Structure formats: C-alpha cells, structure tokens
Chains A and B, each alone.
Chain A
Amino acid sequence: MGRRGVSPGSTAHRTVEAVWRIESARIIAALARLVRDVGLAEELAQDALVAALEQWPRDGVPDNPGAWLMAVGKRRAVDLIRRHETYERKLAELGHRQEVVADPDADFDAVLTDRIEDDLLRLVFVACHPVLSTEARVALTLRLLGGLTTDEIARAFLVAEPTVAQRIVRAKRNLAEADVPFEVPEGPDRVDRLASVLEVIYLVFNEGYSATAGDDWVRPGLCDDALRLGRILAELMPDEPEVHGLVALMEIQASRLRARIGPDGEPVLLLDQDRRRWDRLLIRRGLAALGRVALGPAPVGRADGPYVLQARIAACHALAATPEETDWRRIASLYDTLATVAPSPVVELNRAVAVSMAYGPEAGLRLVDALLAEPALRGYHLLPSVRGDLLAKLGRAAEARIEFVKAATLTRNERERTLLLDRADGLA
C-alpha cells in the first residue's frame, strides 16, 4: 500500500476526523506523560491535528496516520520542552528557582509507545478529577477520551458551543492550578476517584438514554459514546468489578433503546415495550460483562457495588421474555441491597416500584408515601408519576389523575410530558 491520492476537501477531512477519533486519546495521554500537563498535551495534539488537516488533503493520508500524528505531537512537545529548558536555565542564571518540566532522562520514543495503557488510564482519572465540576468532567472526558469536538459535545448536550469551549478551557486551567498529578490514584483515595470516573461515564449514557431536556426522548449517539468509554475502561481496569458492572448495566439498558421509542417518537416504558425489539446482541454482551464481575480477584467479603447491583436488576428484566415472567421478588431484594449500599431517594423510589410489583400496589404505595416529605425528590417528576401509577392500580382514579398532571408539569422532556398528560386524560 503506497500513499493514496486523496482528493482535497471532504474525503480527506473525514479521514482526518476518523483517525482523530481513533487516536486522539492515546496521543494526548502519551504527550501528557511528556509534558506533565493534560491541557498542554491536548493543545499539542490539536496542533498535530491542524497539521494533518493541512497536509493530508494535499499530500495524501500517510500509511500509519496514528503514528504520524503522534510523531508531530511529540516533535512539538520536545520543541516546547527545549524552549522551556532554555528559559528555565536563564531564569536559574538570574537566580530563580529551576523547575523541571519533564523527566530529563525520558527516552521520548520509548515513552510514547511504552505503557500507553497506563497513560490512558491516568488521563481518565485526571479528566474526572474531583477539583472539576461535574459538567467540566463530562466535557473534558468526551473531549480527551471520546475524541469528540467541542461542537459535537455542545450539540449532544444542547448547549452553545462557546459554553462548552469555555468549560473545557476553565477545566484545563483548574487542573493546572490545582497541580493535579498525572497519575492513577492509589490508596484510600482510589475508590472515590473511580466512583467519579464511573459517574461521569454513566451521566453521559443517561443523557443519551433519557434526555433531561429537549424534544427527543433519547439520543443514541451519546449512549454509544458512553458505552465505548466504558468498554475501554473495562480493558484498562479488568480487575475492577464495578467497571464491569457499569458496562453490563449500559449494554443491557442500551439493548432497549429502540424499544423505548414509539412510532411517533414518544417514550415507551419498560413494561410496555415490545421485547422483540430489544437488541439481543447487547443483552448477551451485558450478561457477559456481568460474568466478568466474578472473575476478578474478589477481596474477601466484598459485596456487590451499586453498578453491579443495578446491572443485576437490568439483567432480571432482560431475561424475562414477557413482563409477566419478571422475577420481581429478586428485583425487590436487589433494590433492598442497593438501598443499603448506595442509599438515595431515587433508589428508594425504584425499590417502591419493585415492591409494588412483587407484593402489590398497597405495599409499594406505603414506601412511596414515605418519600413524599423527601426534599431531594421535590420537583422530581417520577415521584408523582409512580404514585399516580400505584393509585390508578388501586382504583383511586381521581387522586391518580392529580399526580400525573403534577408529574407532567415537572418533567423537562416534552415527549414525557405528553405521555403523562395522556395518562391523566385516560383517568378522567
């Protein structure tokens, strides 16, 4: 294979974009090891991208485009370090403190190919660092690890492009100011830091799975991005059960994406879904990921974490060929455990639903009513929605109607609002 002639314009541009999406995380990660600054590494990688956009349409796409980008990025990094060293030396001569920017003994070639997986993992943890706001973590993760452009992130989250750009600039500055080391946390910190990483990925997934705003009920592209990040992480951290739990949860939930949308774009709830539309390939993958949970070196007495538990619940639904075959007692019991491992009002609400299915609407309603005073659920549309459902099952139509109307006023999703108002009308 020689250099292919690439017609100028869109074809070469699409190739550059595709290569960028495949390679950017590895390039940024490797450069971050060199310059010890994720923001700077990203800018160097961007320089390489710009060079590709200039040269590939003119000269053709190189045979090994990833190595090409890496080499350009590395060259820029080395130039920068040399310039900086000269500068530091001059400062030192003037009596200022000398700062070492990069490991002076680093073998640049080895550094870039060696242990790239370790660098990627470091990049994951830095992008999801707790000094950053949640929004910043999400934007930075999609940008640095997902290879998304600022514009793609903005469109995915329905915010203006400059807002995302600013978020990323500020995030990079925050990381530099906080002097966040380019490393994978060890020790007591590690559990919380991993939780932050998983949270960011699941947030991305959920924004695609049940969009909190906008006209569309689902945005599958975001689910795919989150799944991809999750699968990458599972290969980087094969011994972490919760990573596999998250992947399993996302695979199984994604298997229902098609079934969640009706012919007119309206949402279809789990029990009303046509299960033949569930994606069996993703279900199998989800169950396989759940199988990997048990394969790690399980520390004695370590119980299932929240993602593994949620994945097990999702698997219960996936394994039921019809809604009637759902093992609600097992699901209720998994929610009991989840409520102790990761207590939250939302988990309680879900537990109430499971209990109502396993033991009747009366039992469920008792749990829901206990949540009515919960401040965290004030304004959460699913509380009146679930309550309305249980009241309707108990034949208390007038009360149910009020709850559905209330839920409709609370949701920010247009499709969901229509669904809720339809249910209210059905009870009139």
Chain B
Amino acid sequence: MRFMVILKGEAQGEAPSEELVDAMIKYNEELVKAGILLAAEGLFDSSRGARVVTAGGRKSVIDGPFTEAKELIAGFYLIQVRSLAEAVEWAKRCPVEVAIRGTDREAVVEIRQVAEADEVPTFTEEQVAAERRIREQLSGGA
C-alpha cells in the first residue's frame, strides 16, 4: 500500500534552522534505510505560490502568501508500507517538533492512502483509460 505522508503548515519565511534540517535529513535516511521511501519533496513557503480560484463561472488568481497555515502543505513523502498503522508509526517519527519548538504552533502530519485509478469505484472504464493516457504523457516514456 502506498501512502502520502503530508507535512502541514507553513515555513515561517526565514530559512529552516540547521537543527531542523539535520533532523529531517536523519529522518529521510531512516525511511530510505527501511526500504519504504518512494519519493519525497519539500515545498517553499506559500509566498512563492499562487491559487486559481473558480467560482460563479469566473476564475481569479490569488498570489501567495496564504494565511491559513494549517491548510498549507510544506512537503510530502510517498511511502510503501503494509498498513495504515505502519504509515502512522512512520509519521509519528517525523521530527516536526523541532520545527515548532518554542512556539505555540502545532504541527500536523497527515497520512493519506494513494488511490490507484483502478481502485476508485466511481471511475468508468473510459475514465480509467483516460487517466492512464495522462499518466503516460506525464511520464514521457520514463
């Protein structure tokens, strides 16, 4: 089973502390050594991002930064494990406490199972096929 382990929150503008970077590197290495890490990315804070909002038949662009830090994504891991319980155990080990030390913020790590198109019950056969075509184009023949 594949899970995306999502680090919620917003980098606070300034660069992450050396301690945090060290802790995250160590954690990443643990995931690699355990043979479960498939992919991972960290994101810049939302001041470098934008949103496209669609409502009332109109699309508008909102530039970052965004304020609702809890809803933002700071980074993610894609892991392959046997169960949700195992994914949870790995998420617990993510050293997010280093990022919030000395603040009153809370750190949230969210775990979501990756849906493979074949497993989504509402997909029609045509939709599954279309989804595969898109994947093919995205990956550009590996």
Interface, chain A (partner B; CB < 8 A): 1, 14-15, 17-19, 21-22, 65, 117, 221, 224, 227-232, 235, 258, 274-277, 280-281, 283-285, 287, 318-319, 321
**A227–B37 CA distance with the chains assembled, in angstroms:** 11
Mark out the residues of chain B between 57 and 85 whose CB falls within 8 Å of any chain A CB in the assembled complex: 78, 80, 82-83, 85
CB distance from A349 to the nearest CB of B (A): 28
B86 at the interface (CB under 8 A from A): yes
How many A-B contacts are there with CB distance less than 8 Å?
68
In the bound complex, do residue B82 and residue A21 qualify as a contact, i.e. CB atoms below 8 Å apart?
yes
Q: Beyond A232-B33, A232-B35, A284-B142, list 12 extra A-B contacts (CB 8 Å).
A: A15-B89, A18-B83, A21-B86, A117-B33, A224-B82, A230-B35, A231-B35, A235-B32, A275-B136, A280-B142, A284-B139, A321-B141
B88 at the interface (CB under 8 A from A): yes
In the bound complex, do residue B118 and residue A15 qualify as a contact, i.e. CB atoms below 8 Å apart?
no
The winner among B33, B116, B118 for most chain A CB atoms within 10 A is: B33
In the bound complex, do residue A22 and residue B89 qualify as a contact, i.e. CB atoms below 8 Å apart?
yes
Chain B residues within an 8 Å CB radius of A18: 82-83, 85-86, 88-89
Q: Is the interface of B mostly helix, strand, loop or mixed?
A: helix
Q: Which residue of B lies closest to A147 (CB)?
A: B82
Contacts A224-B80, A258-B118 given; indicate if A22 touches B133 (C-beta within 8 A): no
**A279–B142 CA distance with the chains assembled, in angstroms:** 10
The winner among A1, A230, A232 for most chain B CB atoms within 10 A is: A232
Chain B residues within an 8 Å CB radius of A284: 139, 142
Q: For chain B, which range describes its interface: under 10, 10 to 19, 20 to 34, or 35 or more residues?
A: 20 to 34
**A229–B33 CA distance with the chains assembled, in angstroms:** 10
Interface, chain B (partner A; CB < 8 A): 32-36, 38-39, 78, 80, 82-83, 85-86, 88-90, 97, 116, 118, 132-133, 135-136, 138-139, 141-142
Chain A residues within an 8 Å CB radius of B32: 231, 235
**A281–B86 CA distance with the chains assembled, in angstroms:** 21
Chain A residues within an 8 Å CB radius of B39: 281
Q: Which residue of A lies closest to B30 (CB)?
A: A22
Chain A residues within an 8 Å CB radius of B33: 117, 232, 235
26 contacts between A and B (CB under 8 A): A14-B83, A14-B85, A15-B89, A17-B83, A18-B89, A19-B89, A22-B86, A65-B89, A221-B82, A227-B35, A229-B35, A235-B33, A235-B35, A258-B118, A275-B136, A276-B132, A276-B133, A276-B136, A280-B138, A280-B139, A281-B38, A281-B39, A284-B139, A285-B38, A287-B142, A319-B142
Partner of A318, one of B36, B86, B133, B142: B142
In the bound complex, do residue B34 and residue A232 qualify as a contact, i.e. CB atoms below 8 Å apart?
yes
Q: Which residue of A lies closest to B33 (CB)?
A: A235
